[in-house]
């Protein structure tokens, strides 16, 4: 069989050109990130109390719901399963505790307050998306973990054995649903010398009554139309709306709020959940700017406001 075009000799590559910016952009950016972590910035997302009793009850009855836990972590219940996207409960997103981007607001519930988690999808290897302490804890509670190609080794080295690795456009059944790995425009790295050795992806979970799309981290991409055509339409799409400045570094690998709104149409998304903001201070834009721009763009386009949501941490929405 022919080698897929996103497979390279030493790892993986995007279907569309990407750029991390020049050193003249990157070095001042990292200096600003270090300073921000020292002095701290406000603007973290607000939170509400989680209705844990309902979520436990709903794990058996499956009213379709999504609960934003923070950053790219969404608790989804649909078609008889309960799953998490890119779960992170750690206080910092980095290689060791205390080193990395600090959490601005705590998770709205503890890990031991979660309903039973059937499985987890992980979009890529970056520390704010593949959080090993959280994944170990969830695996110990019986959660299966779906990852893109190459990332399974990292988890197995941590003693996590219930892992399924998938390439773009591959799928695996899980109880009443099917889990699909889909393209994204991003990159991967955890150390100094492993850039793009593991794949990055989005995920689709399709069931008898609902279809859910999780973009992971991605820049604007023609893949949205392909995903919508092959696997949509979607009752709910969770799209990143933060981490977009400076554009010279982030513009090809992260959506800005306006691009996230625009992605709803090619995806065929009935509702959009704006995530990946207000939890960790990762980039230069004001922490609380993404939802403001997101809803402003919805209004500018004359779209129905109730289709585009940025809930509070811990808030459960039906879809």
Which two three-digit tokens encode residue 223?
A: 């893949």
* Alpha helix stretches (DSSP H) within 179-309: 223-231, 247-250, 257-267, 289-300
User: What is the C-alpha separation between 24 and 5, in angstroms, rounded?
Assistant: 31
What's the CA dihedral at 218, 10, 154, 181 to 10 degrees? 40
Model confidence pLDDT, tens digit, residues 142-155: 999 999 999 999 99
Helix %, strand %, coil % of the chain (to 5): 25, 25, 50
Model confidence pLDDT, tens digit, residues 75-133: 999 999 999 999 999 999 988 766 788 999 999 999 999 999 999 999 999 999 999 99
pLDDT of residue 34: 85
User: What is the C-alpha separation between 267 and 226, in angstroms, rounded?
Assistant: 8
pLDDT of residue 60: 86
214 or 22: which leads in pLDDT: 214
Contact 183, 166 (CB under 8 A): no
Nearest to 184 by CA among 102, 267, 308: 267
Q: What is the mean pLDDT of residues 294-310?
A: 98
Per the listing, tokens 């834009």 go with: 285
Model confidence pLDDT, tens digit, residues 138-192: 999 999 999 999 999 999 999 999 999 999 999 999 999 999 999 999 999 998 8
- Report field, pTM of the whole predicted structure over 0.95: yes
Which two three-digit tokens encode residue 168?
A: 């773009």
pLDDT band at 56 (very low <50, low <70, confident <90, very high): very high
- Tally Cβ neighbours within 10 Å of residue 56: 14
Residue 47: beta bridge partners? Answer: 313
249 or 61: which leads in pLDDT: 249
User: What is the C-alpha separation between 138 and 5, in angstroms, rounded?
Assistant: 34
- Tally Cβ neighbours within 10 Å of residue 259: 20
Which two three-digit tokens encode residue 31?
A: 């200096």
pLDDT of residue 44: 95
User: What is the C-alpha separation between 312 and 316, in angstroms, rounded?
Assistant: 9
pLDDT of residue 98: 66
Question: 89-103, 110-124, 231-245, 297-311 — which is least confidently predicted?
Answer: 89-103
Q: What is the mean pLDDT of residues 65-77?
A: 98
């Amino acid at each position: 069989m022919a080698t897929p075009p996103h497979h390279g000799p030493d790892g993986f590559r995007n279907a569309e050109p990407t750029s991390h910016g020049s050193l003249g952009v990157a070095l001042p950016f990292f200096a600003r990130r270090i300073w921000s972590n020292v002095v701290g910035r406000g603007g973290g997302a607000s939170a509400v109390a989680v209705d844990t009793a309902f979520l436990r009850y709903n794990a058996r009855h499956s009213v379709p719901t999504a609960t934003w836990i923070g950053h790219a972590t969404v608790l989804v219940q649909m078609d008889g399963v309960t799953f998490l996207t890119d779960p992170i409960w750690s206080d910092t997103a980095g290689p060791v505790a205390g080193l990395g981007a600090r959490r601005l607001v705590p998770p709205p519930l503890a890990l031991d307050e979660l309903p039973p988690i059937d499985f987890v999808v992980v979009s890529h290897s970056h520390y704010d998306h593949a959080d090993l302490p959280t994944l170990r804890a969830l695996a110990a509670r019986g959660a299966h973990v779906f990852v893109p190609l190459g990332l399974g080794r990292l988890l197995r080295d941590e003693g996590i054995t219930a892992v399924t690795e998938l390439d773009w456009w591959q799928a695996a059944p899980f109880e009443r649903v099917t889990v699909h790995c889909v393209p994204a425009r991003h990159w991967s790295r955890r150390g100094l010398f492993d850039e793009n050795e593991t794949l990055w992806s989005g995920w689709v979970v399709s069931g008898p009554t609902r279809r859910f799309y999780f973009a992971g981290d991605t820049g604007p991409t023609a893949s949205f139309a392909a995903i919508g055509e092959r696997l949509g339409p979607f009752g709910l799409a969770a799209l990143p709306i933060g981490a977009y400045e400076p554009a010279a570094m982030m513009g090809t690998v992260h959506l800005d709020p306006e691009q996230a709104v625009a992605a709803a149409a090619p995806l065929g998304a009935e509702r959009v959940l704006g995530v990946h903001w207000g939890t960790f201070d990762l980039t230069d834009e004001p922490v609380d700017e993404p939802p403001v721009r997101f809803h402003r763009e919805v209004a500018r386009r004359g779209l129905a406001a109730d289709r585009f949501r940025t809930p509070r941490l811990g808030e459960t929405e039906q879809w």
